[in-house]
Amino acid sequence: MDVAPGEIVGLLGANGAGKTTVIRMLLGLTLPTGGTVATFGRAPDRTTRRRLGYVPQGLGLWATLTVAENASFAAAAFGSEPAGLGQGLAALEHRLVSDIGLGLQRQLAFAIALAHRPELLVLDEPTSGVDPLARARLWDEVHDQAQRGTGVLVTTHYMQEAQQCDRLVLMSRGKAVGRRDRARDRR
C-alpha cells in the first residue's frame, strides 16, 4: 500500500482487521510477522517518524497537562514551534485537557500532529465519538492538508468518511482483501 503526496487513502475493516497494527508498523512500534514495511523508502525509525503527523485512537494527549502544555511538549519532541491553537483552543490554553470536550481534544490532537508540517498524516479513527459538526470540521482539515500536498492515511468505520477518500483499502484478518480507486470509478 502506498500513499502519494496529496492523496487520502482510507483503510477500512471491522474491529480486529489489522488497521491499527498496520499503523503501528508504519511508526516502527510493531514489527511485521511477514513481509516488509517501508516509510519514505526505508524501515521506520526516528527520522521517518519526524516526517509523520499521527493522531492515534486515544489522541495521545496528556490529560493532566493544559492545552498549551500539550502543544509545547509535542513541539519540543519534534523540534518545532508549538501548534497554532486557533481561536477555540487558544481561549482554553490554560485548561487541563481532561476538562475540555472530546471534540476540542480531537482538534488539539490534529493541531499538534500538523505543527511540524508532516509529509504524511496518519489518522487512526480520528472522528470517533465526536458530533457531526466537529466531524465535518476535522474532515475539512484533512482535505486542506491533502490540497497542500500532505499524504493522508486514515482508518474509519464511517462510510460517509470512506467516500471522502481518494482510494480505499479493505482489510480482513491482517490482510488487504480489496481496493477501490475513487478516481477510476468516476470515469
What are the tens digits of pLDDT across the range 8-67? Answer: 999 988 888 888 888 888 888 888 888 888 889 898 988 888 889 888 887 889 899 999
**Distance of alpha carbon 79 from the chain centroid:** 20
pLDDT tens per residue across span 109-140 = 888 888 888 999 999 988 877 788 878 888 99
For residue 182, the model assigns a pLDDT of 63
3-class DSSP assignment, residue 69: helix
Looking at domain 1-51+118-187, its CATH superfamily turns out to be P-loop containing nucleotide triphosphate hydrolases (3.40.50.300)
DSSP letter string, 18-68 = SHHHHHHHHTTSS--SSS---BTTB---HHHHTTEEEE-TTTT--TTSBHH
Which of 39-48, 85-94, 150-159 is predicted least confidently?
Answer: 85-94
User: Which alpha helices (DSSP H) does the chain contain, by range?
Assistant: 19-26, 46-49, 67-78, 86-90, 102-114, 132-147, 159-162, 182-185
Tell me where in the chain the CATH 3.40.50.300 domain(s) lie.
1-51+118-187
pLDDT (mean) for 69-81: 83
The whole-model pTM stands at: 0.85
Burial class of residue 50 in the structure, from the number of CB atoms within 10 Å of its CB (0-12 exposed, 13-18 middle, 19+ buried)? middle
Please answer whether residues 148 and 114 qualify as being in contact, where contact means their C-beta atoms are separated by less than 8 angstroms.
Answer: no
Across residues 150-163, what is the average pLDDT? 88
First to last CA, the chain: 22
pLDDT of residue 179: 66
Lowest average pLDDT, out of 88-97, 142-151, 173-182, goes to 173-182
Q: Give the range among 80-89, 131-140, 166-175 with minimum mean pLDDT.
A: 80-89
Characterize 15-25 residue by residue with b for buried, 16 or more Cβ atoms within 10 angstroms of its Cβ, and e for exposed.
eebbbbbbbbb
Rounded-to-integer distance, Cα 159 and Cα 16, Å: 18
Please give the backbone phi and psi of residue 141, each rounded to the nearest 5 degrees, phi first.
-65, -40
